[in-house]
Amino acid sequence: MRTYVFDAGAILAWVLDKPGVMQVRRVLDDAMRARSEIVMSAINFGEVYSTLLRAYDFDRASAMMRTLQPLPIKLVSVDRQVALSAAAVKVKYRLYYADSFAAALAIERKATLVTADSDFRRLGHGFPILWLKA
């Protein structure tokens, strides 16, 4: 079974109907049919909420977050080992700290990262990435 890791941008594309939303919908549909699985770091999930809180009021941002509840996304908690792995990825690839959690999770799970963030190009061509685009 194929595994995907969503970064914050993947969820934001779905919630805000941004470029790449159709690709995200296809991945979600596959996961709903148990043809694939989607995982996401709790750090990146929090990043989604912080982005929505900056753009909208508390009630609207909270309502948007509630729309995520039925989605087939498994949140991965952060423990000591995950934090250390993310820190090493951050330094090696010169990523933002939150991005390093998505990358570390994708590396650990041998998964395809779903993102539109060009900073992930630093991971190299051998790293499986589903690039979100219009």
Domain that holds residue 37: 2-131
For residue 117, the domain's CATH number is: 3.40.50.1010
Predicted model pTM: 0.93
Q: What is the pLDDT of residues 98-131, one digit of tens each?
A: 999 999 999 999 999 999 999 999 988 778 999 9
Token pair listed for 58: 């508390």
State the angle between helix axes of 8-16 and 21-32 in degrees (0 to 180), rounded to the nearest 10: 100
Counted domains in the chain: 1
